[in-house]
């Protein structure tokens, strides 16, 4: 691990100020993904600003029936919250489908959103990766790309976003609240957080450098059933191959793109009276599989149709 | 009077060269600074300790006692326990949060101590396997692991036992897993137990005995 300096932030305002003033600074809360990558020297921050103890771990009821989840809340804490389990079961189910209990106990909500891809070519520093080293090329394009994206990929990057939690948040129309380096609070839909790779896969979000995610806000849940389903190589503690979150008529897919993928085509078809299978087929018309990951097409088709049916039966 | 034999021009030149070498060397290793008589051999290569940063004073309550350490910020909680406090019960398996051998309880919650910086735990209460039970009076979970032969090599066992303690507390607190029915309270079924212990790998594959030991211990503790 490369040397770095460390400070424990005294407030969110002090944290963003320190981030703006210190070259190579990164926030750390749980650290379960960042430290893993620092050990591999894929991440080499010069300075860590610990925001894990800031008073932003609370889960609070909003005035308008919303639920506000602090960015520093642990994944376990959110999954176990009685309000989350009662009103947003899809979120609780998605969280416990990811990582191990030890990781969920430490990992924060904000860190979960900002976790980096598990693409093997990103992790293997002896292989080219445009995300890790812009301009180096993408080893996955012609390589072992069984778990690559089928939506929104580019010739520069075919990696996927691997968060389970983010898929549920996308289906729930969650909003992200942040504090900018200049101390301004802003809020935007979660679908505007992550970028697709395009020509610049090293740029992963639309956050301003040094901007801190302070909370995730869930609007009141829409009518209808909620379901999270994930398919992976092992029964537990494995990254997903594909996943699907159903919230009433809202549908998001996981591990199929470099961001949680809101299936707008399928939603539109469902609203127009299509069957679940017809609706998801319409979404998959826009998919671009690469050969080794062709199986994701039929897997998503079956999984999403089953999950929609399950949601309707609730 | 002839001068000393070594004080010829050749000797002086060698001496000067050696002094310069030592001067450069002493920048990194202060102990060598006064050793001006060190001639004739190249100094051993020592990697410069270029931390360039002061150690951070960190106080952690470990197994009931406050321990203060001056730490390089890179030190993981696991390394602080093993290398600085010589508590080698928590094991370094993968060092990447995949195997669970490093599991300890921090403020009563199980985490992977390899994926956490020690300086992040200033003020925390940490329980490692050394703080669980005593040689004369084992904790019921330790006793059950012995009774059911829930290990072969034993390397993962400290992590399995600390993880068990955290897991039982999580069930008590109603933390769900993917085996918990939506909205329901978790119960210690085999499926729940296996799912909740999936962050602890046993290379000897003693899983059936681990499941039996945990169920036995949980009954004794109820």
Tokens coding B191? 């499926």
Bridge-partner residues for A47, per DSSP? A5, A25
pLDDT of amino acid A288: 97
How many CB pairs (< 8 A) connect A and B? 110
Region B136-158 average pLDDT: 98
Mean pLDDT to the nearest integer, B45-69: 74
Residue count (chain A): 314
Q: Above 50 in pLDDT, residue B42?
A: no
- Taking an 8 Å cut-off on Cβ atoms, the answer to whether A3 and B52 are in contact is yes
**DSSP tag of B84:** I
Confidence check: pLDDT of B142 > 80: yes
Q: Which residues of A touch B52 (CB under 8 A)?
A: 3
Q: pLDDT at position B210, please?
A: 98
A231 in contact with B at a CB cutoff of 8 Å? no
d(CA A265, nearest CA chain B) in Å: 29
Picking from B51, B119, B167, the nearest residue to A6 by CB comes out as: B119
What is the distance between the alpha carbons of residues A148 and A137, in angstroms, rounded to a whole number? 15
Nearest to A243 by CA among A306, A300, A166, A301: A300
Per the CB < 8 A criterion, the answer to whether A89 and B178 are in contact is no
Q: What is the pTM of this model?
A: 0.89
Cβ partners under 8 Å of residue B139, min gap 6: B132, B133, B161, B165
| Cα distance between residue B116 and residue B124, in whole Å | 12
Q: Give the confidence band of B33 by pLDDT, cuts at 50, 70, 90.
A: very low
For the stretch B12-27, pLDDT in tens is 444 444 444 333 333 3
- Chain B closest-CA separation from residue A83 CA (Å): 10
Q: Nearest by CB to A96, from B53, B100, B176: name it.
A: B176
Nearest to B209 by CA among B165, B164, B160, B149: B149
Instruction: Identify the segments of chain A with pLDDT beneath 70.
Output: none
The number of beta carbons lying within 10 Å of the beta carbon of residue B58 is 24
Provide residues of B within 8 Å CB-CB of chain A. 50-53, 56, 72-74, 76, 95-97, 100, 103, 109-112, 115-117, 119-120, 122, 163, 166-167, 170, 173-178, 180, 182-183, 194-196, 198-199
Outline where chain A has alpha helix (H).
12-21, 34-39, 75-80, 82-87, 89-96, 101-106, 109-114, 120-123, 165-171, 264-271, 276-284, 295-313
What pLDDT shows up at residue B136?
A: 95
pLDDT band (50, 70, 90) for residue B50: very low
Condensed to tens digits (0 to 9), the pLDDT of residues B63-119 reads 999 999 999 999 999 999 999 999 999 999 999 999 999 999 999 999 999 999 999
Instruction: Give per-residue pLDDT as tens, B186-198.
Output: 999 999 999 999 9
- Which value, in Å, is the radius of gyration of the alpha carbons in chain A? 19
Question: Dihedral angle at the C-alpha atoms of B164, B108, A79, A113, nearest 10 degrees?
Answer: -110
CB neighbour list of residue A230: distance below 8 Å, 6 or more residues apart: A94, A97, A164, A240, A242, A243, A244, A254
- What end-to-end distance do the CA atoms of chain A give, in Å? 49
**What confidence score (pLDDT) does residue A266 get?**
98
Q: How far is CA A56 from CA A60, A109, A188, B48, B143, in A?
A: 10, 10, 18, 41, 41
Instruction: Give me the helices (H) in A219-294, please.
Output: 264-271, 276-284
Q: What is the pLDDT of residue B54?
A: 57
Q: How far is B114 from chain A (nearest CA, A)?
A: 9
Compare CB distances from B175 to A80, A89, A93 and report the shortest one's residue.
A80
CB A100 within 8 A of CB A237: yes
**Which pLDDT belongs to residue B204?**
97
Cα-Cα-Cα-Cα dihedral sign, residues A128, A129, A132, A134: positive
What ipTM was predicted for this assembly? 0.96
């Amino acid at each position: 691990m490369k040397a770095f300096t460390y400070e424990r932030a005294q407030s969110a305002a002090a944290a963003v100020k320190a981030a703006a003033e210190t070259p190579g600074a990164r926030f750390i809360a749980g650290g379960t993904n960042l430290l893993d990558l620092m050990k591999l020297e894929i991440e080499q921050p010069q300075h860590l600003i610990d925001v894990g103890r800031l008073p932003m771990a609370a889960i609070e009821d909003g005035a308008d029936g919303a639920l506000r989840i602090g960015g520093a809340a642990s994944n376990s804490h959110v999954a176990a919250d009685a309000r989350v389990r009662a009103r947003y079961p899809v979120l609780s189910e998605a969280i416990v489908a990811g990582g191990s209990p030890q990781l969920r106990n430490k990992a924060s909500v904000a860190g979960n959103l900002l976790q980096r891809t598990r693409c093997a070519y990103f992790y293997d520093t002896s292989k080219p990766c445009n995300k890790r080293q812009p301009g180096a090329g993408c080893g996955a394009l012609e390589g072992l790309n069984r778990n690559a994206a089928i939506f929104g990929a580019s010739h520069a990057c075919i990696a996927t976003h691997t968060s389970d939690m983010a898929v549920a948040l996308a289906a729930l129309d969650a909003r992200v609240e942040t504090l900018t380096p200049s101390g301004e609070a802003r809020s935007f839909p979660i679908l505007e957080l992550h970028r697709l790779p395009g020509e610049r896969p090293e740029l992963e979000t639309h956050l301003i450098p040094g901007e801190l995610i302070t909370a995730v806000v869930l609007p009141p849940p829409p009518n209808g059933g909620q379901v999270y389903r994930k398919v992976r190589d092992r029964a537990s503690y494995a990254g997903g191959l594909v996943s699907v979150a159903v919230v009433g008529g809202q549908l998001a897919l996981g591990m199929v793109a470099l961001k949680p993928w809101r299936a707008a085509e399928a939603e539109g078809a469902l609203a127009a009276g299509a069957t679940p299978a017809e609706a998801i087929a319409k979404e998959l018309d826009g998919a671009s599989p690469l050969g080794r990951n062709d199986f994701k097409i039929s897997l998503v088709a079956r999984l999403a149709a089953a999950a929609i049916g399950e949601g309707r039966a609730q | 009077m002839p001068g000393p034999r070594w004080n010829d021009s050749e000797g002086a030149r060698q001496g000067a060269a050696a002094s310069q070498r030592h001067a450069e060397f002493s920048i990194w290793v202060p102990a060598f600074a006064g050793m001006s008589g060190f001639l004739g051999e190249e100094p051993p290569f020592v990697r410069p300790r270029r931390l360039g940063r002061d150690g951070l004073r960190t106080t952690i309550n470990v197994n009931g006692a406050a321990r203060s350490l001056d730490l390089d910020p890179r030190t993981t909680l696991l390394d602080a326990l093993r290398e600085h406090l010589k508590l080698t019960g928590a094991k370094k398996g993968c060092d990447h949060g995949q195997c669970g051998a490093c599991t300890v309880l921090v403020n009563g919650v199980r985490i992977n101590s390899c994926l956490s910086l020690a300086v992040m735990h200033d003020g925390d209460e940490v329980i490692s396997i050394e703080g669980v039970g005593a040689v004369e009076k084992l904790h019921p979970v330790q006793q059950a692991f012995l009774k059911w032969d829930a290990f072969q090599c034993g390397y993962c066992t400290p992590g399995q036992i600390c993880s068990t303690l955290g897991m039982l507390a999580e069930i008590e607190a109603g933390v769900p897993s993917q085996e918990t029915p939506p909205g329901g309270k978790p119960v210690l079924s085999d499926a729940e137990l296996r799912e909740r212990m999936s962050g602890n790998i046993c290379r000897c594959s003693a899983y059936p005995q681990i499941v039996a030991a945990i169920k036995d211990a949980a009954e004794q503790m109820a």
